[in-house]
Structure 1
Amino acid sequence: MVETKTPTQPSEWPPKYPRLIAIGTETPSAKYTQAEVLKIFGIEQPKISRIFSNSHIKSRHLCLPQFSLDSTISQESQADLLEKHKQVALDIGQSAIKKALEKADLNPQDIDYISVVSTTGFLCPSLSAFYIKAMGMRSDIYRIDIVGMGCNAGLNGLQPVINFCALHPESIGLLLCVEVCSAMYVIDDTLNAAVVNSLFGDGAAAAIVSTRSFPGLSTGSKFLGFSSHIISQAIDSIRLDFQETKYSLYLDKEIPYLLGQNVKIPVDKLLRKFERKRRDVQHWVIHSGGRKVIDSIKYSLNITEHDVRHTVNVLQNYGNLSSASFLFSYERLLQERITQPGDSILMMTMGPGSTIECCLGEF
């Protein structure tokens, strides 16, 4: 007879809802307007220039290769792009983590679980191992890397952090979303490359999660639950193609309408689970996927421009930061200091699959 072990339950059962404790964000120092990017890329075609000027983006932080004022940017090899992803991700990722830890008065050795999300490069060993070594985290830390899931992956990476913290009371979980979108750029005169190169920016966002109390710290919401909706018939609408020794990101022009048509499904399903309606949500944190995407979701859910103010602000000043976008918006909400106990917050990310992810929280 084989002896089986019963898993040990936490001291408190059911466990407490984990809460967002602090957020830290970082970008590369170099910042460019859309007009500057057009000049650096040597783009003169009016049709492509209009894509940049109509993007509703004022500026982005990007890691571009060296260029002179009288010449345009040179193409980078796939090896160069992968190395750029690694080095920039380690730089801005560590900075974002340090900022979040400092707000919570924690140090790297306090982290029990780390989830690292990135789609803009591939490494083996993965990024989490490099952060653990570089920042002196404990050797017994639990870790996971979410790779290749795209712009929606921030909420996918948040789920295991929350689950771990719920099952291990007082533990400290860390989510890091780090995207070097300039490591995915293909510089040519195609319309698809123009859309990608006009939209995405580089950035990292770290979030501390725990059930532990942090007296005197204005924390974020507790996390109640998640919902997901995969539009399988649109699996090719957002994808990576491998062309001419490089990865090339493809974005279907129908994406905004596709997301708008389907967004009610996961939103309403999640709200019903907790006996709430859309009108009960005081705060919306939505991925900055592009102005058309934001508008399509806004109209479908019948929410206001004020509801998406942080989403729009992040898009205007940083571009689409892929998985990190929603945490940049969440940080801006916390900086307003307008949330009240009992307020509901709905976080939403969208990406390849095609996928819509939602998370409901409560302050």
Structure 2
Amino acid sequence: MPTLCRPCIAVPEHIITAEDTLELARTLHAGHPQLELALRLISNTGVRTRHLVQPVEDTLRHPGFEERNLLYEREAKERLPAVIERALEHAELAAPDIDMIIYVSCTGFMMPSMTAWLINNLGFRPETRQLPISQLGCAAGGAAVNRAHDFCTAYPDRNVLIVACEFCSLLYQPSDLQVGSLLCNGLFGDAMAAVVVKGRGGHGIALRHNGSHLVPDTEDWISYAVRDTGFHFQLDKRVPATMGVLAPAMRSMAAPHDWDLAQLDFYLVHAGGPRILDDLGHHLGLPAHTFRHSRSTLTERGNIASAVIFDALERLFAEGDPAHGAPGIIAGFGPGITAEIALGRWSVPQHRDRSPSHLTVARTAAAAPVGAAPVPGPVH
């Protein structure tokens, strides 16, 4: 049964606090007619710190879409190798043991995808399959888990590496003065994640079922406007209300498998904002501490888009193993409005062999990772 292993999370070294954010908003938008509303909304996010790929003063500059996209590519190539290496270690695998790479990001664009660079430079086999996902936004982390689950179900002896790289700060648009845009300037942060789904064995979440749900007629509630200056994030104030639709959809997805969403042991949910978590808890009849891992991610790192569910998963690992067989859910929400949902049970192998297989050793000797660089900032 496919198992989602322990992830590696990394954040850049530049930090902006909630106090810094509010002071910048007061300074940059002193004459804005809805400044007080924007300040109140930013304060209500509960975000205390965020990490940025550039210093704040550089983040506030807009050198043009081309330069920003080049920065995205350069920083991703410098920072991702160490994150990937640690995720492979968690899964007790090496690069040649990976059969598919799923790369998710909505904050930069490359063609060929980053997957091609990873294969060429980090020791993956040339026949490694590639699946870049770029237009599901914050839901992409959940979609990546589900597509990895599908692949490993079809090919039980295969392994999938998921890589998420979100530099949300590169989407800052100084000319966007809508309240929703100002709110986003105080909500989103930068982060990278990598995690392995093993076709057989592994320590983590043994994936059982997955599903998707699209809320009809909400396509323009979360979106990008693509303009000369790049991607302009657009957020509708009706977004939090979607939990009234998505909570029943999540129940409906779980019901045929006899899973009761009010009786699970762990919940790894996309932390788009505090009201998302509050409303989901209300509709599912769950206490506030249920989403403590997602809330911690939001407080310490902000909304880190597709990487949120992996950060929450790392916090679950750090807290300590749930009981073997404990049921849980992963849910990512994003543009569409789309929900990507996975159900699984905690798996702790009774006899864990921490030494790489003979195949791994042989492959590693022939194809050691090239160009790996330390990741500035915390790596877990």
Normalised by the shorter chain, which TM-score bucket? Answer: 0.7 to 0.9
Do the aligned partners of 1:115 and 1:158 also contact (CA within 8 Å) in 2? no
Backbone CA RMSD of aligned residues: 1.9
Contact 1:25 1:99 in 2 (8 A): no
**What pairs up with 1:75-154 in 2 under 5 angstroms?**
75-154=62-141
Q: Which residue pairs with 1:191 in the alignment?
A: 179
Cα distance in structure 2, aligned partners of 1:87 and 1:345? 37
Taking the aligned partners of 1:92 and 1:291, their CA distance within structure 2 comes to 29
- Native 8 Å contact 1:227 1:266 kept in 2: no
Q: Is the 8 A contact 1:30 1:61 kept in 2?
A: yes
Distance 1:147 1:138, change over 3 A: same
Structure 1 residue 156 displacement after superposition: 1.2
How do 1:218-257 residues align onto structure 2 when only pairs under 5 Å count?
219-257=203-241
1:52 aligns with 2:72: no
Contact 2:137 2:305 in 1 (8 A): yes
- May I ask how many residue pairs the two structures share in their alignment? 339
Cα distance in 2 for residues equivalent to 1:319 and 1:160:
26
1:177 to 161, 164, 187: 164
Structure 2 counterpart of 1:93, which letter?
Answer: L
- Worse-matched range after superposition: 280-289 or 103-112: 103-112
CA–CA distance in structure 2, aligned partners of residues 23 and 223 of structure 1: 15
State the secondary structure of the residue aligned to 1:354.
strand
Quote the residue 1:212 is aligned against.
200
Q: Quick check: 2:215–2:246 contact (8 Å CA) kept in 1? A: no
**Counterparts of 2:73 and 2:165, CA distance in 1:** 10
- Partner of 1:14 in structure 2? none
* In structure 2, distance between residues paired with 1:34 and 1:302: 31
* Residues 75-94 of structure 1, C-alpha deviations (whole Å, 9 max, x = no match): 23111221122122233332
Deviates more, 1:154-163 or 1:197-206: 154-163
The residue that corresponds to 2:359 in the other structure is none
For structure 2, list consecutive stretches of 5 or more residues without a partner in the other structure. 347-380
Matched, 1:310 2:297: no
Which sits farther off after the overlay, 89-98 or 309-318?
A: 89-98
CA displacement, residues 211-244 of structure 1 (integer Å, 9 cap, x when unaligned): 3335xxxx11111111211112111100101345
Pairing 1:61–2:44 present: no
CA–CA distance in 2 between the matches of 1:50 and 1:44?
A: 14
- CA shift, 1:246, in A, is 2.7
Q: TM-score, normalised by structure 1?
A: 0.88
The 3 A distance-change label for structure 1 pair 98 and 32 is same
The answer to whether the 8 Å contact 1:204/1:324 transfers is yes
- The offset of 1:182, in angstroms, is 1.1
Q: State percent identity of aligned pairs.
A: 27
Q: CA deviation at 1:183?
A: 1.5
SS of equivalent to 1:169: coil
Tell me the equivalent position of 1:9.
none
Counterpart code for 1:168: Y
Does the aligned pair in 1 maintain the 2:270–2:294 contact within 8 Å?
Answer: yes
Alignment check: 8 A CA contact 2:225 2:232 kept: yes
Q: Matched residues in 1 for 2:20 and 2:98: separation? A: 40
Which digits, 9 at most, give the CA deviation of each residue in 1:97-122, with x for residues without a partner? 11111223322222111111111111
The counterpart of 1:325, out of the listed 295, 308, 331, is 308
Q: Structure 1 residues 340 and 130 mapped into 2: Cα distance closer, same or farther (>3 Å)?
A: same
- Scaled by the length of structure 2, the TM-score of the pair is 0.84
Corresponding residue for residue 156 of structure 1: 143
Q: Is the 8 A contact 2:181 2:235 kept in 1?
A: no
**1:327 is paired with a residue of what secondary structure?**
helix
Runs (4+) of structure 1 exceeding 6 A deviation are none
CA distance in 2 between counterparts of 1:197 and 1:285 reads 24
